[in-house]
Amino acid sequence: MRKLLVYLKDYRKETILAPLFKMLEATFELFVPLVMAAVIDQGIGNGNVSYVLRMGGVLVLLGVIGLVCSITAQYFSAKAAVGVSTKLKHALFAHIQGLSYTEIDTLGTATMITRMTSDVNQVQSGVNMVLRLFLRSPFIVFGAMVMAFTIDVKAALIFVVTIPALSVVVFGIMMWTMPLFKKVQAGLDSVLGATRENLTGARVIRAFNKEQEEIEAFEQKNSALAHMQLFVGKISALTNPVTYIIINVATVVLLYTGAVRVDEGTITQGEVVALVNYMSQILIELVKLANLIITITKALACANRIQSVFEIRSGMEWKQKVTETAAGQHSKRQADETSPDEQRPEGDEVVFDHVCLTYAGAGAESLTDLNFRVKKGQTVGIIGGTGSGKTSLVNMIPRFYDATKGHVRIKGRDVREYGMEELREMIGIVPQKAVLFQGTVRENMQWGKNNATDAEIWQAIETAQAKEFVEQKDGRLDAAIAQTGRNLSGGQRQRLTIARALVGRPEILILDDSASALDYATDAALRQAIRNMEGDMTVFIVSQRASSIQHADQIIVLDDGEMAGIGIHEELLERCEVYQEIYYSQYPKKEVRS
Protein backbone atom coordinates (compact mmCIF):
# COMPACT_ATOMS: atom_id res chain seq x y z
CA MET A 1 0.00 0.00 0.00
CA ARG A 2 2.81 2.44 0.86
CA LYS A 3 4.28 2.03 -2.62
CA LEU A 4 1.00 3.21 -4.11
CA LEU A 5 1.15 6.45 -2.11
CA VAL A 6 3.52 7.77 -4.79
CA TYR A 7 0.39 8.52 -6.85
CA LEU A 8 -0.60 11.11 -4.24
CA LYS A 9 2.50 13.22 -4.85
CA ASP A 10 0.74 15.39 -7.44
CA TYR A 11 -2.03 16.09 -4.93
CA ARG A 12 0.01 17.34 -1.98
CA LYS A 13 -2.10 20.48 -1.66
CA GLU A 14 -5.36 18.48 -1.59
CA THR A 15 -4.00 15.94 0.90
CA ILE A 16 -3.08 18.78 3.28
CA LEU A 17 -6.12 21.03 2.79
CA ALA A 18 -8.77 18.28 3.02
CA PRO A 19 -7.78 17.09 6.55
CA LEU A 20 -7.07 20.70 7.58
CA PHE A 21 -10.60 21.87 6.79
CA LYS A 22 -12.00 18.76 8.47
CA MET A 23 -10.00 19.61 11.59
CA LEU A 24 -11.40 23.15 11.50
CA GLU A 25 -14.92 21.72 11.24
CA ALA A 26 -14.20 19.39 14.18
CA THR A 27 -12.82 22.28 16.26
CA PHE A 28 -16.00 24.31 15.80
CA GLU A 29 -18.04 21.21 16.59
CA LEU A 30 -16.23 20.75 19.92
CA PHE A 31 -17.33 24.23 21.04
CA VAL A 32 -21.04 23.43 20.55
CA PRO A 33 -21.54 21.53 23.89
CA LEU A 34 -19.85 24.40 25.79
CA VAL A 35 -22.18 26.96 24.17
CA MET A 36 -25.15 24.71 25.02
CA ALA A 37 -23.97 24.49 28.64
CA ALA A 38 -23.78 28.30 28.79
CA VAL A 39 -27.29 28.60 27.33
CA ILE A 40 -28.70 26.24 29.98
CA ASP A 41 -26.79 27.63 32.97
CA GLN A 42 -26.73 31.36 32.25
CA GLY A 43 -29.54 31.88 29.76
CA ILE A 44 -32.34 29.50 30.72
CA GLY A 45 -31.28 29.24 34.39
CA ASN A 46 -31.36 33.05 34.82
CA GLY A 47 -34.26 33.66 32.43
CA ASN A 48 -32.03 35.82 30.19
CA VAL A 49 -33.76 35.66 26.80
CA SER A 50 -31.33 38.01 25.05
CA TYR A 51 -28.42 35.82 26.15
CA VAL A 52 -30.21 32.72 24.78
CA LEU A 53 -30.78 34.48 21.42
CA ARG A 54 -27.17 35.67 21.34
CA MET A 55 -25.84 32.18 22.01
CA GLY A 56 -28.33 30.77 19.48
CA GLY A 57 -26.75 33.07 16.88
CA VAL A 58 -23.32 31.74 17.87
CA LEU A 59 -24.57 28.15 17.34
CA VAL A 60 -25.88 29.06 13.87
CA LEU A 61 -22.57 30.74 13.02
CA LEU A 62 -20.62 27.67 14.19
CA GLY A 63 -22.91 25.48 12.06
CA VAL A 64 -22.44 27.65 8.92
CA ILE A 65 -18.66 27.79 9.32
CA GLY A 66 -18.59 24.02 9.91
CA LEU A 67 -20.67 23.41 6.76
CA VAL A 68 -18.35 25.55 4.61
CA CYS A 69 -15.30 23.75 6.00
CA SER A 70 -16.96 20.36 5.41
CA ILE A 71 -17.86 21.13 1.77
CA THR A 72 -14.34 22.47 1.10
CA ALA A 73 -12.77 19.36 2.63
CA GLN A 74 -15.04 17.12 0.59
CA TYR A 75 -14.03 18.92 -2.61
CA PHE A 76 -10.31 18.51 -1.99
CA SER A 77 -10.59 14.89 -0.83
CA ALA A 78 -12.73 13.92 -3.84
CA LYS A 79 -10.31 15.64 -6.22
CA ALA A 80 -7.35 13.79 -4.73
CA ALA A 81 -9.14 10.41 -4.63
CA VAL A 82 -10.37 10.59 -8.24
CA GLY A 83 -6.97 11.83 -9.41
CA VAL A 84 -5.15 8.97 -7.68
CA SER A 85 -7.63 6.47 -9.11
CA THR A 86 -7.09 7.83 -12.63
CA LYS A 87 -3.30 7.73 -12.38
CA LEU A 88 -3.40 4.27 -10.83
CA LYS A 89 -5.53 2.88 -13.65
CA HIS A 90 -3.21 4.43 -16.25
CA ALA A 91 -0.12 3.03 -14.55
CA LEU A 92 -1.67 -0.42 -14.05
CA PHE A 93 -2.84 -0.63 -17.66
CA ALA A 94 0.59 0.46 -18.93
CA HIS A 95 2.29 -2.09 -16.67
CA ILE A 96 0.05 -4.91 -17.88
CA GLN A 97 0.76 -3.91 -21.49
CA GLY A 98 4.46 -4.35 -20.73
CA LEU A 99 4.07 -7.90 -19.44
CA SER A 100 4.89 -10.83 -21.68
CA TYR A 101 2.38 -13.46 -22.76
CA THR A 102 3.74 -15.75 -20.02
CA GLU A 103 2.82 -13.37 -17.20
CA ILE A 104 -0.55 -12.52 -18.75
CA ASP A 105 -1.36 -16.22 -19.10
CA THR A 106 -0.38 -16.78 -15.45
CA LEU A 107 -2.40 -13.86 -14.06
CA GLY A 108 -5.55 -14.47 -16.09
CA THR A 109 -7.80 -11.93 -17.80
CA ALA A 110 -10.53 -11.98 -15.14
CA THR A 111 -8.07 -11.12 -12.35
CA MET A 112 -6.58 -8.21 -14.28
CA ILE A 113 -10.02 -6.77 -15.10
CA THR A 114 -11.09 -7.01 -11.43
CA ARG A 115 -7.94 -5.28 -10.24
CA MET A 116 -8.27 -2.47 -12.77
CA THR A 117 -11.93 -1.82 -11.95
CA SER A 118 -13.31 -3.04 -8.63
CA ASP A 119 -9.99 -2.96 -6.73
CA VAL A 120 -9.03 0.52 -7.95
CA ASN A 121 -12.52 1.82 -7.07
CA GLN A 122 -12.12 0.46 -3.53
CA VAL A 123 -8.76 2.24 -3.25
CA GLN A 124 -10.41 5.45 -4.48
CA SER A 125 -13.09 5.17 -1.76
CA GLY A 126 -10.39 4.45 0.82
CA VAL A 127 -8.35 7.55 -0.12
CA ASN A 128 -11.48 9.73 -0.05
CA MET A 129 -12.58 8.48 3.37
CA VAL A 130 -9.08 8.68 4.89
CA LEU A 131 -8.62 12.31 3.86
CA ARG A 132 -12.03 13.21 5.27
CA LEU A 133 -12.23 11.20 8.48
CA PHE A 134 -8.91 9.67 9.43
CA LEU A 135 -7.79 12.77 11.40
CA ARG A 136 -11.22 14.22 12.13
CA SER A 137 -12.65 11.26 14.05
CA PRO A 138 -9.68 10.67 16.38
CA PHE A 139 -9.39 14.44 16.89
CA ILE A 140 -13.02 14.69 18.04
CA VAL A 141 -12.75 11.54 20.19
CA PHE A 142 -9.69 12.76 22.10
CA GLY A 143 -10.77 16.39 21.87
CA ALA A 144 -14.09 15.52 23.52
CA MET A 145 -12.20 13.69 26.26
CA VAL A 146 -9.93 16.68 26.86
CA MET A 147 -12.91 19.06 26.91
CA ALA A 148 -14.61 16.73 29.40
CA PHE A 149 -11.57 17.03 31.69
CA THR A 150 -11.89 20.83 31.57
CA ILE A 151 -15.43 20.45 32.90
CA ASP A 152 -14.94 17.81 35.60
CA VAL A 153 -12.01 15.43 36.12
CA LYS A 154 -13.93 12.71 38.01
CA ALA A 155 -16.69 12.49 35.44
CA ALA A 156 -14.12 12.60 32.61
CA LEU A 157 -12.45 9.41 33.94
CA ILE A 158 -15.40 7.53 32.41
CA PHE A 159 -14.09 8.65 28.99
CA VAL A 160 -10.65 7.25 29.82
CA VAL A 161 -12.16 3.76 30.31
CA THR A 162 -14.66 3.96 27.45
CA ILE A 163 -12.32 5.01 24.62
CA PRO A 164 -9.77 2.12 25.01
CA ALA A 165 -12.64 -0.39 25.25
CA LEU A 166 -14.09 0.95 22.01
CA SER A 167 -10.65 0.92 20.36
CA VAL A 168 -10.15 -2.76 21.23
CA VAL A 169 -13.50 -3.65 19.62
CA VAL A 170 -12.98 -1.56 16.48
CA PHE A 171 -9.38 -2.58 15.77
CA GLY A 172 -10.00 -6.20 16.75
CA ILE A 173 -12.76 -6.49 14.17
CA MET A 174 -10.53 -4.77 11.60
CA MET A 175 -7.70 -7.29 12.08
CA TRP A 176 -10.21 -10.14 11.83
CA THR A 177 -11.87 -8.96 8.63
CA MET A 178 -8.83 -7.80 6.62
CA PRO A 179 -7.73 -11.27 5.40
CA LEU A 180 -11.36 -12.21 4.78
CA PHE A 181 -11.83 -9.26 2.42
CA LYS A 182 -8.89 -10.57 0.37
CA LYS A 183 -10.75 -13.88 -0.03
CA VAL A 184 -13.90 -11.99 -1.07
CA GLN A 185 -11.99 -10.21 -3.86
CA ALA A 186 -10.51 -13.55 -4.99
CA GLY A 187 -14.05 -14.97 -5.12
CA LEU A 188 -15.08 -11.97 -7.20
CA ASP A 189 -12.26 -12.83 -9.63
CA SER A 190 -13.72 -16.33 -9.99
CA VAL A 191 -17.26 -15.07 -10.65
CA LEU A 192 -15.99 -12.52 -13.16
CA GLY A 193 -13.95 -15.18 -14.93
CA ALA A 194 -16.97 -17.48 -15.23
CA THR A 195 -19.12 -14.60 -16.52
CA ARG A 196 -16.55 -13.58 -19.12
CA GLU A 197 -16.10 -17.17 -20.29
CA ASN A 198 -19.85 -17.67 -20.66
CA LEU A 199 -20.38 -14.43 -22.55
CA THR A 200 -17.53 -15.06 -24.99
CA GLY A 201 -18.56 -18.69 -25.49
CA ALA A 202 -22.34 -18.15 -25.56
CA ARG A 203 -22.74 -19.69 -29.03
CA VAL A 204 -20.76 -22.80 -28.11
CA ILE A 205 -22.74 -23.25 -24.88
CA ARG A 206 -26.04 -23.06 -26.76
CA ALA A 207 -24.80 -25.27 -29.57
CA PHE A 208 -24.06 -28.06 -27.09
CA ASN A 209 -27.15 -27.36 -24.96
CA LYS A 210 -25.05 -26.68 -21.86
CA GLU A 211 -26.99 -23.66 -20.59
CA GLN A 212 -28.32 -25.40 -17.50
CA GLU A 213 -24.94 -26.83 -16.52
CA GLU A 214 -23.26 -23.43 -16.90
CA ILE A 215 -26.04 -21.77 -14.89
CA GLU A 216 -25.52 -24.30 -12.09
CA ALA A 217 -21.73 -23.81 -12.18
CA PHE A 218 -22.17 -20.04 -12.04
CA GLU A 219 -24.69 -20.29 -9.20
CA GLN A 220 -22.23 -22.43 -7.26
CA LYS A 221 -19.45 -19.83 -7.58
CA ASN A 222 -21.84 -16.96 -6.96
CA SER A 223 -23.27 -18.67 -3.87
CA ALA A 224 -19.77 -19.28 -2.50
CA LEU A 225 -19.00 -15.57 -2.97
CA ALA A 226 -22.32 -14.57 -1.37
CA HIS A 227 -21.72 -16.82 1.67
CA MET A 228 -18.24 -15.39 2.09
CA GLN A 229 -19.54 -11.82 1.83
CA LEU A 230 -22.31 -12.58 4.33
CA PHE A 231 -19.79 -14.04 6.77
CA VAL A 232 -17.55 -10.96 6.51
CA GLY A 233 -20.61 -8.71 6.68
CA LYS A 234 -21.80 -10.37 9.90
CA ILE A 235 -18.42 -9.82 11.53
CA SER A 236 -18.32 -6.20 10.37
CA ALA A 237 -21.90 -5.72 11.53
CA LEU A 238 -20.81 -6.50 15.09
CA THR A 239 -19.05 -3.14 15.20
CA ASN A 240 -22.12 -0.92 15.57
CA PRO A 241 -24.08 -2.87 18.24
CA VAL A 242 -20.99 -3.53 20.39
CA THR A 243 -19.88 0.10 20.24
CA TYR A 244 -23.44 1.28 21.02
CA ILE A 245 -23.58 -1.03 24.06
CA ILE A 246 -20.30 0.34 25.40
CA ILE A 247 -21.32 3.95 24.74
CA ASN A 248 -24.79 3.53 26.27
CA VAL A 249 -23.37 1.90 29.40
CA ALA A 250 -20.88 4.75 29.65
CA THR A 251 -23.69 7.30 29.19
CA VAL A 252 -25.73 5.70 32.00
CA VAL A 253 -22.69 5.80 34.31
CA LEU A 254 -22.01 9.38 33.24
CA LEU A 255 -25.58 10.48 33.97
CA TYR A 256 -25.49 8.82 37.39
CA THR A 257 -22.11 10.36 38.23
CA GLY A 258 -23.23 13.73 36.87
CA ALA A 259 -26.42 13.67 38.93
CA VAL A 260 -24.40 12.97 42.09
CA ARG A 261 -21.93 15.76 41.26
CA VAL A 262 -24.76 18.24 40.53
CA ASP A 263 -26.38 17.31 43.83
CA GLU A 264 -23.07 17.98 45.55
CA GLY A 265 -22.86 21.33 43.77
CA THR A 266 -19.55 20.42 42.11
CA ILE A 267 -20.85 20.90 38.52
CA THR A 268 -23.91 22.48 36.94
CA GLN A 269 -26.78 20.94 34.98
CA GLY A 270 -25.48 22.54 31.78
CA GLU A 271 -22.09 20.92 32.27
CA VAL A 272 -23.73 17.51 32.68
CA VAL A 273 -25.55 18.09 29.39
CA ALA A 274 -22.21 19.11 27.83
CA LEU A 275 -20.59 15.89 29.09
CA VAL A 276 -23.44 13.80 27.62
CA ASN A 277 -23.10 15.70 24.33
CA TYR A 278 -19.38 14.95 24.26
CA MET A 279 -20.17 11.28 24.90
CA SER A 280 -22.65 11.38 22.02
CA GLN A 281 -20.02 12.98 19.77
CA ILE A 282 -17.62 10.20 20.69
CA LEU A 283 -20.29 7.62 19.83
CA ILE A 284 -21.00 9.17 16.42
CA GLU A 285 -17.32 9.57 15.57
CA LEU A 286 -16.39 6.07 16.65
CA VAL A 287 -19.19 4.62 14.51
CA LYS A 288 -17.82 6.70 11.64
CA LEU A 289 -14.33 5.51 12.50
CA ALA A 290 -15.51 1.90 12.51
CA ASN A 291 -17.06 2.32 9.07
CA LEU A 292 -13.90 4.10 7.96
CA ILE A 293 -11.79 1.21 9.18
CA ILE A 294 -13.96 -1.26 7.26
CA THR A 295 -13.49 0.85 4.12
CA ILE A 296 -9.74 1.12 4.80
CA THR A 297 -9.56 -2.64 5.34
CA LYS A 298 -11.15 -3.26 1.95
CA ALA A 299 -8.95 -0.60 0.35
CA LEU A 300 -5.77 -2.08 1.86
CA ALA A 301 -6.70 -5.58 0.69
CA CYS A 302 -7.37 -4.25 -2.80
CA ALA A 303 -4.23 -2.08 -2.78
CA ASN A 304 -2.12 -5.13 -1.92
CA ARG A 305 -3.71 -7.04 -4.81
CA ILE A 306 -2.92 -4.14 -7.16
CA GLN A 307 0.62 -3.90 -5.81
CA SER A 308 1.11 -7.62 -6.43
CA VAL A 309 0.50 -6.94 -10.13
CA PHE A 310 3.01 -4.08 -10.14
CA GLU A 311 5.57 -6.38 -8.52
CA ILE A 312 5.31 -8.85 -11.39
CA ARG A 313 8.12 -8.17 -13.83
CA SER A 314 8.15 -9.27 -17.43
CA GLY A 315 10.32 -12.29 -18.05
CA MET A 316 11.50 -10.65 -21.29
CA GLU A 317 14.16 -7.98 -21.43
CA TRP A 318 14.23 -5.90 -24.58
CA LYS A 319 17.35 -4.32 -26.02
CA GLN A 320 17.44 -0.71 -27.14
CA LYS A 321 16.97 -0.14 -30.85
CA VAL A 322 20.35 -0.19 -32.59
CA THR A 323 21.41 1.46 -35.81
CA GLU A 324 21.99 -0.51 -38.99
CA THR A 325 25.74 0.17 -38.69
CA ALA A 326 25.81 -1.21 -35.16
CA ALA A 327 23.71 -4.18 -36.26
CA GLY A 328 26.17 -4.87 -39.10
CA GLN A 329 29.13 -4.68 -36.75
CA HIS A 330 27.38 -6.99 -34.30
CA SER A 331 26.60 -9.51 -37.05
CA LYS A 332 30.21 -9.38 -38.24
CA ARG A 333 31.52 -9.81 -34.69
CA GLN A 334 29.09 -12.70 -34.13
CA ALA A 335 30.21 -14.31 -37.39
CA ASP A 336 33.87 -13.96 -36.40
CA GLU A 337 33.19 -15.62 -33.04
CA THR A 338 31.41 -18.66 -34.54
CA SER A 339 32.95 -21.54 -36.39
CA PRO A 340 32.51 -21.78 -40.21
CA ASP A 341 29.98 -24.60 -39.78
CA GLU A 342 27.82 -22.44 -37.51
CA GLN A 343 27.85 -19.30 -39.72
CA ARG A 344 24.53 -18.74 -41.46
CA PRO A 345 24.29 -19.21 -45.23
CA GLU A 346 23.75 -15.97 -47.14
CA GLY A 347 20.06 -15.10 -47.57
CA ASP A 348 18.74 -16.82 -44.45
CA GLU A 349 15.85 -14.75 -43.09
CA VAL A 350 14.61 -16.90 -40.18
CA VAL A 351 16.55 -19.67 -38.44
CA PHE A 352 15.35 -22.01 -35.69
CA ASP A 353 18.48 -23.45 -34.10
CA HIS A 354 17.54 -26.52 -32.00
CA VAL A 355 14.69 -24.60 -30.38
CA CYS A 356 12.66 -25.95 -27.45
CA LEU A 357 9.74 -24.26 -25.67
CA THR A 358 8.24 -25.05 -22.29
CA TYR A 359 5.32 -22.95 -21.07
CA ALA A 360 5.36 -21.64 -17.50
CA GLY A 361 3.99 -24.28 -15.15
CA ALA A 362 3.94 -26.97 -17.84
CA GLY A 363 5.36 -30.37 -17.03
CA ALA A 364 6.72 -31.12 -20.49
CA GLU A 365 8.03 -29.30 -23.53
CA SER A 366 5.50 -27.99 -26.02
CA LEU A 367 8.12 -27.76 -28.79
CA THR A 368 11.19 -29.98 -28.97
CA ASP A 369 14.39 -29.53 -31.02
CA LEU A 370 13.04 -27.49 -33.94
CA ASN A 371 15.87 -26.99 -36.41
CA PHE A 372 15.28 -25.37 -39.83
CA ARG A 373 16.21 -22.40 -42.01
CA VAL A 374 13.99 -20.14 -44.09
CA LYS A 375 15.42 -17.97 -46.86
CA LYS A 376 14.23 -14.48 -47.67
CA GLY A 377 11.16 -14.46 -49.92
CA GLN A 378 10.21 -18.08 -49.23
CA THR A 379 6.71 -19.21 -48.33
CA VAL A 380 6.70 -21.71 -45.48
CA GLY A 381 3.69 -23.88 -44.69
CA ILE A 382 3.21 -25.26 -41.18
CA ILE A 383 0.78 -28.11 -40.73
CA GLY A 384 -0.02 -30.66 -38.05
CA GLY A 385 -2.78 -31.98 -35.86
CA THR A 386 -4.58 -29.96 -33.19
CA GLY A 387 -2.20 -29.18 -30.32
CA SER A 388 0.91 -30.11 -32.29
CA GLY A 389 2.51 -26.69 -31.60
CA LYS A 390 1.92 -24.77 -34.84
CA THR A 391 0.88 -21.50 -33.16
CA SER A 392 3.60 -21.89 -30.54
CA LEU A 393 6.19 -22.07 -33.31
CA VAL A 394 5.15 -18.86 -35.08
CA ASN A 395 4.65 -17.03 -31.76
CA MET A 396 8.38 -17.34 -31.15
CA ILE A 397 9.28 -15.35 -34.28
CA PRO A 398 7.88 -11.99 -33.00
CA ARG A 399 9.07 -13.06 -29.54
CA PHE A 400 5.71 -13.48 -27.85
CA TYR A 401 7.45 -16.35 -26.04
CA ASP A 402 11.16 -16.97 -25.56
CA ALA A 403 12.82 -20.26 -26.40
CA THR A 404 13.75 -22.20 -23.29
CA LYS A 405 16.53 -23.89 -25.28
CA GLY A 406 18.16 -22.99 -28.56
CA HIS A 407 17.92 -19.77 -30.55
CA VAL A 408 15.48 -18.09 -32.94
CA ARG A 409 17.37 -15.82 -35.34
CA ILE A 410 16.18 -13.24 -37.84
CA LYS A 411 18.76 -11.93 -40.31
CA GLY A 412 21.46 -13.65 -38.30
CA ARG A 413 20.59 -11.95 -35.00
CA ASP A 414 18.90 -13.64 -32.07
CA VAL A 415 15.42 -12.17 -31.58
CA ARG A 416 16.45 -11.35 -27.99
CA GLU A 417 18.96 -8.84 -29.37
CA TYR A 418 16.33 -6.73 -31.14
CA GLY A 419 14.43 -3.83 -29.63
CA MET A 420 10.68 -4.38 -29.43
CA GLU A 421 9.75 -1.78 -32.06
CA GLU A 422 12.57 -2.84 -34.35
CA LEU A 423 11.48 -6.48 -34.28
CA ARG A 424 7.72 -5.93 -34.52
CA GLU A 425 8.09 -3.44 -37.40
CA MET A 426 9.60 -6.22 -39.51
CA ILE A 427 6.78 -8.67 -38.81
CA GLY A 428 3.10 -8.63 -39.78
CA ILE A 429 0.95 -10.99 -37.72
CA VAL A 430 -2.56 -12.26 -38.39
CA PRO A 431 -3.57 -14.16 -35.24
CA GLN A 432 -5.64 -17.30 -35.09
CA LYS A 433 -8.61 -15.38 -33.70
CA ALA A 434 -9.57 -12.44 -35.90
CA VAL A 435 -9.95 -9.39 -33.66
CA LEU A 436 -11.05 -5.96 -34.88
CA PHE A 437 -11.53 -2.88 -32.72
CA GLN A 438 -14.45 -0.49 -32.46
CA GLY A 439 -14.03 2.36 -34.93
CA THR A 440 -13.90 2.65 -38.72
CA VAL A 441 -12.29 0.43 -41.35
CA ARG A 442 -9.59 3.09 -41.83
CA GLU A 443 -8.81 3.27 -38.11
CA ASN A 444 -8.43 -0.51 -37.93
CA MET A 445 -6.16 -0.55 -40.97
CA GLN A 446 -3.93 2.16 -39.49
CA TRP A 447 -3.01 -0.23 -36.69
CA GLY A 448 -0.69 -1.78 -39.28
CA LYS A 449 0.78 1.63 -40.19
CA ASN A 450 -0.08 4.83 -38.34
CA ASN A 451 0.31 7.17 -41.30
CA ALA A 452 -1.04 4.83 -43.99
CA THR A 453 -2.64 6.67 -46.90
CA ASP A 454 -6.00 5.70 -48.39
CA ALA A 455 -4.17 4.34 -51.45
CA GLU A 456 -2.03 2.05 -49.28
CA ILE A 457 -5.08 0.90 -47.34
CA TRP A 458 -7.05 0.12 -50.51
CA GLN A 459 -4.08 -1.80 -51.94
CA ALA A 460 -3.85 -3.93 -48.78
CA ILE A 461 -7.63 -4.48 -48.77
CA GLU A 462 -7.53 -5.55 -52.42
CA THR A 463 -4.65 -7.98 -51.76
CA ALA A 464 -6.60 -9.44 -48.83
CA GLN A 465 -9.65 -10.03 -51.12
CA ALA A 466 -11.75 -7.63 -49.02
CA LYS A 467 -12.24 -4.84 -51.57
CA GLU A 468 -15.61 -6.05 -52.83
CA PHE A 469 -17.47 -6.01 -49.50
CA VAL A 470 -15.71 -2.84 -48.19
CA GLU A 471 -16.83 -0.91 -51.31
CA GLN A 472 -20.41 -2.01 -50.70
CA LYS A 473 -20.48 -0.61 -47.15
CA ASP A 474 -21.82 2.86 -46.41
CA GLY A 475 -18.88 5.16 -45.97
CA ARG A 476 -16.43 2.60 -47.38
CA LEU A 477 -13.22 3.23 -45.39
CA ASP A 478 -15.28 5.25 -42.92
CA ALA A 479 -17.74 2.37 -42.40
CA ALA A 480 -18.26 1.59 -38.71
CA ILE A 481 -16.76 -1.55 -37.21
CA ALA A 482 -18.39 -2.79 -34.00
CA GLN A 483 -16.37 -4.06 -31.04
CA THR A 484 -14.49 -7.28 -31.98
CA GLY A 485 -15.98 -6.83 -35.49
CA ARG A 486 -19.26 -8.50 -34.54
CA ASN A 487 -21.12 -6.68 -37.34
CA LEU A 488 -19.04 -8.63 -39.89
CA SER A 489 -19.03 -12.27 -40.91
CA GLY A 490 -16.14 -14.55 -39.93
CA GLY A 491 -14.64 -14.41 -43.42
CA GLN A 492 -14.89 -10.62 -43.59
CA ARG A 493 -13.17 -10.27 -40.22
CA GLN A 494 -10.35 -12.56 -41.33
CA ARG A 495 -9.80 -10.67 -44.57
CA LEU A 496 -9.68 -7.30 -42.80
CA THR A 497 -7.18 -8.59 -40.22
CA ILE A 498 -5.00 -9.85 -43.08
CA ALA A 499 -5.29 -6.44 -44.77
CA ARG A 500 -4.31 -4.76 -41.49
CA ALA A 501 -1.09 -6.80 -41.39
CA LEU A 502 -0.32 -6.08 -45.06
CA VAL A 503 -0.69 -2.29 -44.77
CA GLY A 504 2.70 -1.97 -43.09
CA ARG A 505 4.48 -3.96 -45.83
CA PRO A 506 6.23 -6.29 -43.36
CA GLU A 507 9.35 -8.23 -44.27
CA ILE A 508 7.93 -11.32 -42.57
CA LEU A 509 4.20 -12.17 -42.70
CA ILE A 510 2.68 -14.74 -40.33
CA LEU A 511 -0.77 -16.10 -41.18
CA ASP A 512 -1.80 -18.23 -38.22
CA ASP A 513 -4.72 -20.28 -39.57
CA SER A 514 -6.17 -16.93 -40.64
CA ALA A 515 -8.05 -18.19 -43.71
CA SER A 516 -10.09 -20.94 -42.03
CA ALA A 517 -13.37 -19.07 -42.66
CA LEU A 518 -12.59 -18.45 -46.36
CA ASP A 519 -13.74 -20.67 -49.18
CA TYR A 520 -11.11 -22.49 -51.24
CA ALA A 521 -11.30 -20.09 -54.19
CA THR A 522 -10.86 -16.97 -52.01
CA ASP A 523 -8.07 -18.68 -50.08
CA ALA A 524 -6.23 -19.50 -53.30
CA ALA A 525 -6.72 -15.96 -54.67
CA LEU A 526 -5.42 -14.52 -51.39
CA ARG A 527 -2.25 -16.63 -51.46
CA GLN A 528 -1.63 -15.74 -55.09
CA ALA A 529 -2.10 -12.01 -54.38
CA ILE A 530 0.37 -12.16 -51.47
CA ARG A 531 2.89 -14.01 -53.64
CA ASN A 532 2.58 -11.29 -56.31
CA MET A 533 3.23 -8.43 -53.88
CA GLU A 534 6.32 -6.29 -54.46
CA GLY A 535 9.35 -7.13 -52.37
CA ASP A 536 10.64 -10.47 -51.17
CA MET A 537 8.24 -11.04 -48.29
CA THR A 538 8.88 -14.15 -46.23
CA VAL A 539 5.52 -15.78 -45.46
CA PHE A 540 4.63 -18.33 -42.78
CA ILE A 541 1.24 -19.99 -43.33
CA VAL A 542 -0.21 -22.05 -40.49
CA SER A 543 -3.16 -24.09 -41.69
CA GLN A 544 -5.17 -27.25 -41.19
CA ARG A 545 -5.84 -27.36 -44.94
CA ALA A 546 -3.30 -29.19 -47.08
CA SER A 547 -4.45 -27.12 -50.08
CA SER A 548 -3.36 -23.89 -48.36
CA ILE A 549 0.26 -24.96 -47.93
CA GLN A 550 0.94 -27.59 -50.60
CA HIS A 551 2.44 -25.03 -53.01
CA ALA A 552 4.76 -23.56 -50.34
CA ASP A 553 8.52 -23.51 -50.92
CA GLN A 554 8.95 -25.46 -47.70
CA ILE A 555 6.47 -27.35 -45.53
CA ILE A 556 7.07 -28.12 -41.86
CA VAL A 557 5.03 -30.97 -40.42
CA LEU A 558 4.58 -30.98 -36.65
CA ASP A 559 3.48 -33.87 -34.47
CA ASP A 560 3.18 -33.44 -30.72
CA GLY A 561 5.68 -30.56 -30.69
CA GLU A 562 8.30 -32.31 -32.80
CA MET A 563 9.16 -32.00 -36.49
CA ALA A 564 7.77 -35.06 -38.22
CA GLY A 565 8.98 -33.87 -41.61
CA ILE A 566 10.21 -30.94 -43.67
CA GLY A 567 10.29 -30.48 -47.43
CA ILE A 568 8.06 -29.74 -50.38
CA HIS A 569 4.63 -31.29 -50.95
CA GLU A 570 5.77 -34.11 -53.23
CA GLU A 571 8.63 -35.16 -50.95
CA LEU A 572 6.46 -35.24 -47.84
CA LEU A 573 3.70 -37.14 -49.62
CA GLU A 574 6.22 -39.88 -50.36
CA ARG A 575 8.06 -40.22 -47.04
CA CYS A 576 6.18 -38.48 -44.20
CA GLU A 577 3.44 -40.59 -42.62
CA VAL A 578 1.95 -37.72 -40.61
CA TYR A 579 1.64 -35.54 -43.73
CA GLN A 580 0.18 -38.46 -45.68
CA GLU A 581 -2.45 -38.99 -42.97
CA ILE A 582 -3.47 -35.32 -42.99
CA TYR A 583 -3.48 -35.01 -46.77
CA TYR A 584 -5.41 -38.21 -47.50
CA SER A 585 -7.97 -37.36 -44.79
CA GLN A 586 -8.84 -34.30 -46.89
CA TYR A 587 -8.24 -35.77 -50.34
CA PRO A 588 -9.14 -39.48 -50.58
CA LYS A 589 -6.65 -41.52 -52.61
CA LYS A 590 -9.15 -42.24 -55.38
CA GLU A 591 -9.72 -38.53 -55.83
CA VAL A 592 -5.96 -37.90 -55.89
CA ARG A 593 -5.34 -40.54 -58.52
CA SER A 594 -8.04 -39.10 -60.74
Instruction: Report the predicted TM-score, pTM, of the whole model to 2 decimal places.
Output: 0.68
Count CB atoms within 10 A of the CB of residue 525: 14
Rounded to whole angstroms, how far apart are CA atoms 560 and 366? 8
Considering only the C-alpha atoms of the chain, give the largest distance between any 2 of them, rounded to a whole number of Å. Answer: 122
* Residue ranges for the chain with pLDDT beneath 50: 322-327, 330-344, 593-594
Q: How far apart are the first and last CA of the chain?
A: 73
Domain 11-310, CATH 1.10.3720.10 — does that match?
A: no
> In the prediction, which pLDDT does 346 show?
52
- CB burial of 420-450 (b: ≥16 within 10 Å; e: otherwise) equals eebbeebbbbbbeebebeeeebbebbbbbbe
- Per-residue model confidence (pLDDT) at position 303: 84
For the chain, the domains span 11-310, 335-593
- Write down the pLDDT at residue 335: 45
Reduce the DSSP state of residue 352 to 3 states and report it: strand
The pLDDT assigned to 591 comes to 52
Side chain identity, residue 472: Q
Choosing among 3.40.50.1100, 3.40.50.300, 3.20.20.140, 3.10.180.10, the CATH entry for 335-593 is 3.40.50.300
pLDDT digits over 358-417, tens only? 887 777 888 888 888 888 888 899 988 887 888 888 888 888 888 888 888 888 888 888
Cβ 242 vs Cβ 119: under 8 Å: no
Q: Do domains 11-310 and 335-593 have the same CATH topology?
A: no
User: For the chain, what is the radius of gyration of the CA atoms?
Assistant: 36
Query: For residue 338, what pLDDT is reported?
Result: 44
CA angle 399, 404, 405 (to 5 degrees): 110
